[in-house]
Amino acid sequence: MKERIILGIDPGTTIMGFGLIKVVGKKMHFLQLNELDLKKYGDHYLKLKLIFERTIELIDTHNPDEIAIEAPFFGKNVQSMLKLGRAQGVAMAAGLSREIPITEYLPKKIKMAITGNGNASKEQVAKMLQSILGLKTLPKNLDSTDGLAAAVCHFYNSGRVDVGKSYSGWDAFVKQNSDRVKK
């Protein structure tokens, strides 16, 4: 029976949430959820370095076959969006450096996949994950359940066409984003 591991990441510069599931056949099994707390660090570049290093550590420890990452949503604050985009970028770079396929999902798509409601609250998503995966307790911060939700969303969308943006490596990323890359 084919097994695969999916790492889900909710990138952030104050907290990066992540979750891992193992898929055996058509069933998913909970492996881990946790978060990287970056609140105590003032330097934005140090935070990015820590996100990269923690993502590499997760990859080297759990050997995920795929990474699902929450895409930044468009907010009103351009500065915080830029920081979020950078956090997502370094997590993606870590995966790409290990040649792991990455798929981005919009927050609404993740919420829809988990709860059936694209406008569900973090609490609703967490409770539904608790029910689906049989989690005994939920963490205090729900960033880790958001990371886990990205992994579960990816599991639900596996095998479907048009799952989001996927990249199998640097070459694929550049090819798919050639309109954004200066020549």
- 143 an active-site residue? yes
Which amino acid type is present at position 90?
V
Q: Is 143 within any annotated ligand binding site?
A: yes
Q: Which of 10, 35, 66, 104 is catalytic?
A: 10
Please give the helix or strand (H or E) that residue 167 lies within, else none: strand 165-167
Q: Which of 35, 66, 104, 143 is catalytic?
A: 143
Q: Is 70 within any annotated ligand binding site?
A: yes
Q: Is 10 within any annotated ligand binding site?
A: yes
Q: How far is Cα 131 from Cα 124, in angstroms, rounded to an integer?
A: 11
Q: Which of 66, 70, 104, 146 is catalytic?
A: 70
- 66 an active-site residue? no
Structure tokens at 135: 């989690």
Q: How far is Cα 40 from Cα 66, in angstroms, rounded to an integer?
A: 30
- What are the φ/ψ torsions at residue 90 (nearest 5 degrees)? -70, -35
Q: How far is Cα 21 from Cα 109, in angstroms, rounded to an integer?
A: 19
Buried b (16+ CB within 10 A) or exposed e, 107-140: bebbbbbbbeeeebebeebbbbbeeebebeeeee
Q: How far is Cα 68 from Cα 114, in angstroms, rounded to an integer?
A: 14
- 104 an active-site residue? no
Residues at the binding site are 10, 70, 143
Active site residues: 10, 70, 143
Residues at the binding site for Mg(2+) are 10, 70, 143
